[in-house]
């Protein structure tokens, strides 16, 4: 009798109903992405003639091919250089804002000064300001700066300039990410034991030493979490790259151009998407834990 | 190779230069008399950020407010002409209505789906929970440009109603319906709703993660006590769990609300704002880069800002309240 109950209990513990509902939900999330993976490996003729699911139902009557990948790396689409440009924007645009934000977060957390609340309220308010609000004026500022650079002897033709180059992207990405970065890092630093910092003060350590030797090593989880967040954001960005780093073509820009030509089959744009997703998906799945921990640390106590 | 060299140099030099800058500032403040030094020291830490944010966000935003009342090339003042023209244009009115629709649908649906998935997966074993959650979370790692591509394939329509390579139309066909160009369906704003699906699909993982953490933080005793008192699953969800995750739900709602208000990439990738799917974020882009009209583009931004200011005040107030509780 008791054995029967335990068998029944086992089935109940499996929660078949809930699992089935979740399977159905997950399908909605997976199917469009699966379409991307399958289409990228189909021939042009196949992807024009039939839906990607026919390739799954009938895998042996398909021309599985890497043509689309050859296509995106060919001189038509140049996704290789675009990959490098994306990397060249993303890595510095991740490291720089973290460095700046960490200093500011320390100041807001551990230093007492007049106006601290006001400055920090401003940072909170700025988290909400849309990029669009600043873009026109920042672009004009960069153009004016480049004009000024041309007055420097030897640079009459503007060989050295800011607009359209990587540093412009780094600066803009850093500035726009700053409010959120400071907010996240400060929230984390607030949870560090104050007694430790006071003890270090009494031992004669300067704020600079405490920041560097104590707070930074202790803040690694929050720093990592923001780094992942910012890297994914910059890597996937189209807006800032298009507006400020126009001299270098990034992947999102190329994919949007490919998308414009989907009439010649979806395989090209899907192969492009697949390449562009490799790095973020790797970062994401290998560091998911940090990412999730960081997301939840700020909002849920 | 030049790109890589630039990036490597930036990665190595960037932090060194940044750190040297802060060290220098710190050293200079150290030279001052103690009293002045103590007043200025906080600004060694927060000053560079204030300077960056001030020059790249605050001041440009103020300038944009000015441009909104100037001509297309920002040379003469035109008063409220840009705003008058915008609101006299029926297309712009439809753009604003679209924004309102986005705000009304996306944040609440995202939060509800997030709560539903978090609650359902919480009942499952750890392995299933992790797999399901990873799949729902995955679109967060994908760019909106890639997401647009994926979903444009899903919604695509082959002229003539023959073989359909888009999944949605193939399903419609399988049930005996006639395939249609989904992204051009303006009746009942079907195309808007289909683009919203993409954004909800992309954001649900974020909502789920935060809400799931909140649900797990609900003390088991409160749920047990409710079930001893005879509450069923629904009652204990609505009376016990929901009130305890309210704060998180609101904060997720606000975050999604803000990103919905300034939405750009997805619509730009899906329709470019055509077929009456335009929103303020896309309209700004069009006015500035297609029509070269700084005045109207800035006016669009000012309208967007006006809508965002209440949210901003709410955020600052919430922060102040939290500070008092600490």
**Rounded Cα distance, B198 and A215, in Å:** 40
Q: Which residue has the tokens 């989904």?
A: B182
Calculate mean pLDDT across residues B21-39: 87
Q: Residues of B numbered 125-154 whose beta carbons fall under 8 angstroms of chain A's beta carbons: which are they? A: 128, 132, 134-146, 148-154
Tens of pLDDT, residues B73-107: 889 999 999 999 999 999 999 999 999 999 999 99
* Residue B111 touches chain A, beta carbons under 8 Å: no
Among the listed residues B305, B52, B4, B9, the one whose alpha carbon sits nearest the alpha carbon of residue A87: B4
Q: Does B240 touch chain A (CB under 8 A)?
A: no
Q: What confidence category does residue A3 fall into, taking pLDDT thresholds of 50, 70 and 90? A: low
- Which of A12-21, A143-152, B34-43 has maximum average pLDDT? A143-152
The percentage of residues in chain B with a pLDDT greater than 90, rounded to a whole number, is: 66
Q: Which of residues 54-93 of A touch B (CB under 8 A)?
A: 81, 84-85, 87-88, 91-92
Residue B50: is its pLDDT beyond 90? Answer: yes
| pLDDT tens per residue, range A269-294 | 999 999 999 999 999 888 888 877 77
Confidence at residue A298, expressed as pLDDT on a 0 to 100 scale: 55
Sign of the alpha-carbon dihedral angle for A282, A283, A284, A286? positive
Residue A111 main-chain phi, psi, to 5 deg: -110, 135
For the stretch A89-132, pLDDT in tens is 999 999 999 999 999 999 999 998 888 999 999 999 999 899 89
Higher pLDDT, A9 or A140: A140
Indicate whether A226 pLDDT > 80: yes
* pLDDT (0 to 100) of residue A59: 87
pLDDT greater than 50 at residue A240: yes
Which residue in A111, A121, A134 is closest to B57 by CB distance? A134
pLDDT at A297: 63
A300 pLDDT tier (thresholds 50, 70, 90)? very low
Nearest to B56 by CA among A241, A183, A244, A166: A244
Residue A31 pLDDT > 90? yes
Q: Which of residues 137-166 of A touch B (CB under 8 A)?
A: 137-138, 140-141, 166
Q: Do B298 and A299 touch (CB under 8 A)?
A: no
Res. A299: pLDDT tops 60: no
pLDDT tens digits along B236-256: 888 899 999 998 999 899 999
Residue window 184-203, chain B: list those with CB within 8 Å of chain A: 201
Q: For position B36, what pLDDT does the model report?
A: 85
Among the partner residues B120, B297, B320, nearest to A18 by beta-carbon distance: B120
- Least confident piece of the model among A64-68, A163-167, A288-292, B150-154: A288-292
> Does A301 have pLDDT greater than 90?
no
Percent of chain A exceeding pLDDT 70 equals 94
In this predicted complex, what is the ipTM?
Answer: 0.91
pLDDT of residue B37: 84
pLDDT given at position A108: 94
Interface touch A22/B124, C-beta < 8 Å:
yes
pTM for the model: 0.92
């Amino acid at each position: 009798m008791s054995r029967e109950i335990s068998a029944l209990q086992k089935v109940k513990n499996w929660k078949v109903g809930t699992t089935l509902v979740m399977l159905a939900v997950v399908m909605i999330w997976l199917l469009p992405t699966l379409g991307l993976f399958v289409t990228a490996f189909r021939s042009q003729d196949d992807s024009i003639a039939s839906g990607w699911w026919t390739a799954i139902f009938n895998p042996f009557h398909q021309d599985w091919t890497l043509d689309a990948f050859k296509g995106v790396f060919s001189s038509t689409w140049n996704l290789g250089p675009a990959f490098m440009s994306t990397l060249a924007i993303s890595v510095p645009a991740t490291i720089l804002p973290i460095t700046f934000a960490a200093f500011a977060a320390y100041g807001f957390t551990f230093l007492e000064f007049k106006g601290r609340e006001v400055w920090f309220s401003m940072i909170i308010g700025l988290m909400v300001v849309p990029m669009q609000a600043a873009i026109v004026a920042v672009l004009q500022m960069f153009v004016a700066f480049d004009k000024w650079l041309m007055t420097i002897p030897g640079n009459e033709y503007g060989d050295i300039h800011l607009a359209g180059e990587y540093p412009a992207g780094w600066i803009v990405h850093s500035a726009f990410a700053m409010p959120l970065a400071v907010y996240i890092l400060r929230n984390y630093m607030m949870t560090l034991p104050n007694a430790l910092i006071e003890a270090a003060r009494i031992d004669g350590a300067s704020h600079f030493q405490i920041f560097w030797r104590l707070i930074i090593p202790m803040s690694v989880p929050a720093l990592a979490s923001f780094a992942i967040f910012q890297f994914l954001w910059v890597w996937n960005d189209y807006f800032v790259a298009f507006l400020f780093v126009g001299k270098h073509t990034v992947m999102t820009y190329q994919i949007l151009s490919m998308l414009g030509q989907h009439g010649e089959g979806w395989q090209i744009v899907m192969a492009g998407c697949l390449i562009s997703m490799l790095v973020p998906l790797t970062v994401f799945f290998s560091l998911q834990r940090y990412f999730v921990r960081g997301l939840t640390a700020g909002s849920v106590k | 190779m030049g790109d890589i060299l630039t990036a490597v140099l930036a990665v190595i030099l960037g932090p060194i230069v940044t750190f040297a800058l802060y060290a220098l500032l710190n050293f200079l403040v150290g030279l001052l008399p103690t009293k002045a030094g103590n007043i200025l020291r906080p600004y060694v830490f927060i000053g560079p950020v204030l300077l960056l944010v001030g020059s790249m966000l605050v001041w440009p935003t103020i300038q944009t407010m000015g441009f909104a009342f100037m001509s297309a090339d920002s040379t003469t003042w035109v008063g409220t002409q840009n705003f008058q023209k915008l609101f006299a244009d029926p297309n712009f009115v439809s753009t604003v209505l679209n924004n309102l629709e986005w705000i009304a649908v996306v944040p609440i649906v995202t939060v509800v789906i997030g709560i539903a998935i978090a609650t359902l997966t919480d009942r499952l074993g750890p392995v299933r929970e992790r797999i399901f959650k990873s799949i729902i979370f995955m679109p967060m790692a994908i760019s909106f440009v890639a997401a647009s591509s994926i979903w444009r394939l899903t919604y695509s329509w082959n002229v003539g109603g023959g073989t359909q390579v888009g999944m949605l139309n193939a399903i419609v066909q399988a049930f005996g319906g006639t395939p249609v160009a989904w992204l051009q369906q303006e009746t009942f704003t079907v195309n808007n709703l289909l683009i919203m699906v993409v954004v909800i699909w992309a954001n649900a993982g974020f909502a789920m993660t935060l809400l799931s953490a909140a649900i797990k933080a609900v003390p088991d005793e409160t749920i047990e006590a409710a079930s001893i008192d005879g509450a069923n699953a629904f009652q204990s969800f609505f009376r016990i769990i929901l009130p305890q995750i309210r704060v998180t739900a609101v904060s997720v709602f606000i975050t999604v609300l803000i990103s919905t208000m300034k939405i750009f990439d997805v619509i730009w990738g899906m329709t470019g704002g055509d077929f009456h799917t335009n929103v303020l974020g896309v309209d700004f882009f069009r006015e500035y880069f297609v029509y070269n009209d700084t005045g109207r583009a800035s006016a669009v931004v000012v309208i967007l800002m006006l809508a965002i200011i209440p949210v901003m005040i709410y955020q600052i107030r919430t922060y102040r309240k939290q500070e008092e509780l600490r």
